[in-house]
Amino acid sequence: MDGAAPSPPSRRRALWLMGAAALGVTGLAADGARPAEGSAASAEPTVRARPVIHPTPTPTPTPTPTPRPASWGPAKLTSTETPVRELTTLSPPPPPKSIALTIDDGPHPEWTPRVLDLLAEENVRATFFIIGEQVKEYPVLTRRIADAGHQICNHTETHPIDIADLSTKRVRQEIVDAHDRIADTTGIVPRFFRSPGGAWSDTVLELTAEHGMLPIDWAVDPRDWARPGTGSIRRALLEGGDGDILLCHDGGGDRSQTVAALRSVLPKMKKRGLTFVTL
Ligand SMILES: [Zn+2]
């Protein structure tokens, strides 16, 4: 138990409202680089602005957040009742041949830097679902992830694997504590949430939406956390393709197999013409 005092409710509320507002700005690049096909279901404006996060609604001085660069501006779900497993579920969908690498359970002092080095070498941007308690312990490393242009998302405060059985109050605390930790450390208001172990309940989904975030799962799970061997992780990841969300881990234990697998998978996927995008 870290004993950290919770933030005043008014400030929290303001942060959530900001997050919700940011989500409401559905947006896409105004540069018109992306055709709007496939998005007929929603009444999209013809000129769409890149989503902007305005994190300073209170008089309290807070860090000025830099909106994460993204090759594809995320938007919204047609329904928040089901976690997103494929990029095409999002509206508008990403450009063809997009793929997303998500990395969970960090930051970790040994493995996160290795993952970051590899991503930098390959010029790949990823989406990190981070744990509040880890952020508290490694704030500098957390900022390094953000500063490298990767996306920072909420993966709860303590990673309770039984979250689907927890009370509304407990789930809310997990979400809010991680949110505040991430926002205070990086100036970023997370727009995406992943439940520990992909365990969702109606309560978890409702609170995810209530706090202005979209629920994210994955399409490809190499079970790298179980250390099945580099070859096994590599083969599973290479099954992924256009529109898939890949799941990997930089926290929770020895991730040397994950790093080794990614080292060969990333260039192979790029050779296939796939582009790694953040959510
Ligand atoms: Zn996790």
Distance 48 CA to ligand 1 centre (A): 33
Residue 34 lies in a domain: no
Residue 74 lies in a domain: no
Are residues 227 and 255 in contact, defined by beta-carbon separation less than 8 angstroms? no
Residue 12 lies in a domain: no
pLDDT in the model for residue 89: 86
Distance 105 CA to ligand 1 centre (A): 5
In angstroms, the CA 17 to CA 20 distance is: 5
What is the chain's mean pLDDT, rounded?
A: 80
Which of 55-59, 105-109, 185-189 has the weakest average pLDDT?
Answer: 55-59
pLDDT digits (tens, 9 = 90+) for 2-19: 434 444 444 444 445 444
pLDDT at residue 107 is higher than 50: yes
Q: Could you tell me the residue range of the domain that residue 272 belongs to?
A: 88-276
pLDDT in the model for residue 210: 93
Mean pLDDT in residue range 173-178: 98
Catalytic member of 159, 244, 249, 250: 249
pLDDT band at 226 (very low <50, low <70, confident <90, very high): very high
Distance 129 CA to ligand 1 centre (A): 8
pLDDT in the model for residue 91: 80
Instruction: Give strand pairing partners of 153.
Output: 129
Distance 277 CA to ligand 1 centre (A): 20
User: β-strand 245-249 against 192-193: which pairing, if any?
Assistant: unpaired
Catalytic member of 104, 180, 224, 244: 104
93 vs 61, residue with greater confidence: 93
pLDDT digits (tens, 9 = 90+) for 177-213: 999 999 999 999 999 999 999 999 999 999 999 999 9
* 147 is an active site residue: no
Distance 247 CA to ligand 1 centre (A): 10
pLDDT digits (tens, 9 = 90+) for 236-262: 999 999 999 999 999 999 999 999 999
pLDDT band at 88 (very low <50, low <70, confident <90, very high): confident
Residue 122 lies in a domain: yes
pLDDT at residue 67 is higher than 50: no
pLDDT in the model for residue 80: 52
Entry pTM = 0.75
Residue 10 lies in a domain: no
pLDDT in the model for residue 26: 35
* 249 is an active site residue: yes
> How is residue 123 written in tokens?
């010029």
Q: What is the CATH number of the domain that holds 126?
A: 3.20.20.370
pLDDT at residue 228 is higher than 70: yes
Residue 72 lies in a domain: no
pLDDT digits (tens, 9 = 90+) for 114-154: 999 999 999 999 999 999 999 999 999 999 999 999 999 99
Q: What is the tally of structural domains in the chain?
A: 1
